[in-house]
Amino acid sequence: MKIRLINLIIISLLFTSCKKDITLDNLNGDKIGCFGHAGMGTRSLYPTNTLQSLVSCLNRGADGTEMDIQVTKDGVLVIFHNDDLSGVTGCGGIIRDLNWNEINACRVNSFLFKNLNIISFNEFIQNTKNPYQYIFTFDCKLTSGVGNNDEYYFRFASAIANTIEHYGFQDNVFIENSDPEFLNLIKSMNNNLKLFLLGQNFETDIITATENGFYGLSMPNNLVSATQIKEAHDKNIRVTIYGVETNKQNYDAIEKQADFIQTDNLDYVLKLFGKFNRKTRRLSELINNIDLKQSN
């Protein structure tokens, strides 16, 4: 047992020493922005997109966080992933078809936690200390529902543009979506916003991003290479990599010279770049334990 443990330690040290040899070269000032996936990611005890998960991510030392964004019938931006409220909450219905006052009493439930609030983006900002020091990535969830889609898209785009203008968040928000028409609708409302095409096929997506003058391209880690990221950089297109969970996947994303990483294994990346806030983590874990007891 002792021999196996020593071997693991040696392997870990060797792996860590190799990481220090990477010289970063990208469009983000030769640094990689470390973002949590919907907060602390799918590996966390907290459900994704909850205030607890998002704040814990920021407190740990992340440069920002990705979050799933939807819009209500009355134009409120809500942080929530699923198309339907049922399953994850005790409520039902599609967010785009409901007003905020029909949603804000709904609670998110998971295996360990009960009765966590669904939150609006406004509520998240009100509960975030020094929000202007972070980057927030809006993964815009376009859903099916009642009513005309053109009106819904306009409502969604307007809510995003108005919210960013209200907070002065032009440099603090990245906007992701796979539909270039929706991104261009937002662009028509504010030409200076940072729009990322959410892609799956680099060869076609880089053309679309370039032709439309988008700020960046968001790609799954397993569908983009270092050579392709260099091609994007040559075209002045920044690249966000997502779909990273293990230490190796995180390190692969770093080796590819991504500009930003959305990770489900946040602590590993933060420690690698010397950003990990140990004191805040211990406080966060204490709060987590208290919340866990209360939720039960």
Q: What is the pLDDT of residues 162-217, one digit of tens each?
A: 999 999 999 999 999 999 999 999 999 999 999 999 999 999 999 999 999 999 99
All domains of the chain in start order, with CATH:
23-295 (3.20.20.190)
Query: Which distant-in-sequence residues (6+ apart) come within 8 Å of 19 by Cβ?
Result: 251, 254, 272
Contact by Cβ (8 Å): 224, 245: no
Q: Encoding tokens for residue 96?
A: 């785009």
pLDDT above 70 (res 265): yes
Q: Is the distance from CB of 261 to CB of 254 less than 8 angstroms?
A: yes
Greater confidence (284 vs 208) lies with: 208
- List 218's β-bridge partners, or say none: 198, 240
Q: How confident is the model at residue 280 (pLDDT cuts 50, 70, 90)?
A: low
Q: What is the pLDDT of residues 7-63, one digit of tens each?
A: 433 434 444 444 556 799 999 999 999 999 999 999 888 999 999 999 999 999 999
pLDDT value for 281: 55
Of the listed ranges 44-53, 250-259, 283-292, the one predicted with least confidence? 283-292
Handedness of CA 174, 180, 185, 189 (dihedral sign): positive
pTM: 0.89
pLDDT score at 109: 85
Region 57-82: mean pLDDT is: 97
The DSSP code for 222 is G
Query: How many angstroms from the chain centroid is the CA of residue 18?
Result: 28
CA dist., res. 253 & res. 263, Å (int): 10
Helix segments in 91-196, DSSP class H: 121-126, 149-167, 180-189
Residues 6+ apart with CB under 8 A from 102: 93
Q: Is 92 helix (H, G, I), strand (E, B) or coil?
A: coil
Residue 259 CA to residue 270 CA, distance in Å, equals 15
CB 109 within 8 A of CB 88: yes
| Range with lowest mean pLDDT among 64-73, 248-257, 285-294 | 285-294
Query: Which has more confidence, 234 or 21?
Result: 234
What are the two backbone dihedrals, phi and then psi, of residue 258, each rounded to the nearest 5 degrees?
-60, 155
User: 89-114 pLDDT, tens per residue?
Assistant: 989 999 999 999 999 999 998 888 88
C-alpha to C-alpha distances, 244 to 17, 63, 71, 255, nearest whole angstrom: 21, 17, 27, 13
Tens of pLDDT, residues 129-164? 999 999 999 999 999 999 999 999 999 999 999 999
Report pLDDT for 148: 93
Query: Torsion-angle region of residue 260: left (phi > 0), alpha (psi -120 to 50) or beta?
Result: beta
